[in-house]
Amino acid sequence: MAHNCVSMNLASSQVKKYSNHFPDKADSMDNILDFSLEDMALAVRNKEIKSVQLVQGFLDRIEKVNKPLNAVVLSNAEQALKMAAKADTELANGNLQGPLHGIPMTIKDSLDTKDTITTWGTTGRADFRPGRDATVVTRLRDAGAILLGKTNTPEFTLWFQTDNLVYGPTRNPFDTDRTPGGSSGGAAAIIAAGASPFDIGTDTGGSIRLPSHFCGITGIKPTTGRVPCTGNALPSAGLIAPLSQPGPMARYVADLAYLLPLISGPDLIDPFAVPATLDDSRFVDIDSLRIAFHTDNGIKTPMSEITGAVNGVVQLLADYGVSASEARPDGIEMSNFILGRIFAADGGEMVEALLEDCRTDSPSPKIQETLIRDQTEIDQREFAQIITLWDNFRSSMLAFFDDFDVLICPVNAHTAIPLGELEDMLNYTYTSAYNLTGWPGAVIRAGTDDHGLPIGIQILARPFREDYCLAVAAWLEARLGEFSKPQIHSV
């Protein structure tokens, strides 16, 4: 496949890119498990460690931390060890499958895996095996990655907390009385706990970026159309399909840069996926970027620690002679209204169809709320007005890039909230606004609140300039240094 060859070559060229940012290649297994993906892949390739050792090491970590978190909800341990042994044999025979040869991964349970139950968080699929991988999963396996297990998601990914009637709630590794966020909360929690090197999340209103913020990891929502949504719980066709994007979640920005080329490009199934150049973030000159920031989007004022984290990053840039101007896009104040009307525009048809297709008789309370909320029918005139309003919003927001290349802002108005707490949806406009525009957005940790919870910041750029997001994120990551890790005690 031409697509995979291009991605593999690009990723392979990046293997030594960030080597000096991460732990020295010493002797202990724990140290190797904390390598960046590039260094881990290089260690396997150079036969410094076997894939079986890596897979077993991460399985041991999952066993140690997962019980209080409930992040990995389905184990693929037996098959993973078999695939790792096969990878070691292949390498011994001189056959390198790809840039992730023998590297373990977890995958969000909203993404289909042909050999492993995929529930989408709904009871009708509690024992369902799709028989076909999601496109992103196929591409990662083709690159040599090995599935350790599936990570928890709310039903059909439609909640900012990770809980469902199949597996129950996932908990935040920094405080198990709090949510890791949603919908990619299982992925974020297990990565933050150090028990998975990477996962693929999906983001329709902030579902990669919010859990990354709540759990102190890094993640990127690519531009709409960059990565196919084929095989995800939410359909890749229909009114809200352009809101969703799969994207990598990991421990280091370098890992995102390593993974994104492997999953990008059209699959000739998802009608929104397009062939677009993916520029290399190594060649971005930070000094040349016109950087904007804001601490308040004009919809919901964040808690003071979040404002402080954004201002701290701006000051860090200034200390190195990189200036940033305070600004926010015109029209952003309309985002919450527009998103609400779009989700209600089909009168609940999409959710009803998902429940019927999955043979789910008992939807979760959140899905029941969604159905009640969205049952109001709208006429043809109002539907047409909603589409026009959305298009005009995207156009108005794009004008921001006449003056700027990058925008730094909060990810949410709060850090991780207690499990089950009723959300103020205005807090989530810091992410959902950019699902409406389709812009790429990366998240890195930039601070800690008074309760010891992580604070992330969001780095946004114009469509298809993920390289800007990743370059600024990597620059900041290197200078912000390491933050405290969660202390998890098995129960």
Q: Which of 280, 400, 265 is nearest to 329 (CA)?
A: 400
Distances (CA, A) of 436 to 244, 256, 388: 10, 23, 13
Judge whether 75 counts as a catalytic residue. Answer: no
Name the catalytic one among 36, 51, 110, 183: 183
Please name the amino acid found at residue 313: V
The whole-angstrom distance between residue 352's C-alpha and the CA centroid of its chain comes to 26
CA atoms within 13 A on the CB side of 202: 36
> Which residue matches tokens 């921001």?
400
For the chain, how many residues are written? Answer: 491
Strands 291-293 and 406-410: parallel
First to last CA, the chain: 47
Q: What is the 3-state secondary structure (H, E, C) of 15-61?
A: CCCCHHHCCCCCCCHHHHHCCCHHHHHHHHHCCCCCHHHHHHHHHHH
Q: Is the dihedral of CA 255, 155, 213, 61 positive or negative?
A: negative
CA atoms within 13 A on the CB side of 226: 32
Name the catalytic one among 17, 36, 51, 108: 108
Secondary element (H or E) of residue 456: strand 454-461
% helix, strand, coil for the chain, step of 5 = 45, 15, 45
> Which residue matches tokens 């964040």?
302
Residue 391: which residues within 8 A CB-CB, separation 6 or more? none
Judge whether 108 counts as a catalytic residue. Answer: yes
CA atoms within 13 A on the CB side of 376: 10
Structure tokens at 146: 């090995």
Strands 146-151 and 104-108: parallel
Q: Is the dihedral of CA 285, 288, 289, 295 positive or negative?
A: positive
Judge whether 17 counts as a catalytic residue. Answer: no
Q: Is the dihedral of CA 281, 285, 291, 295 positive or negative?
A: positive
| DSSP code at position 188 | H
Structure tokens at 412: 């949410």
Name the catalytic one among 51, 207, 335, 364: 207
Catalytic residue annotation: 108, 183, 207
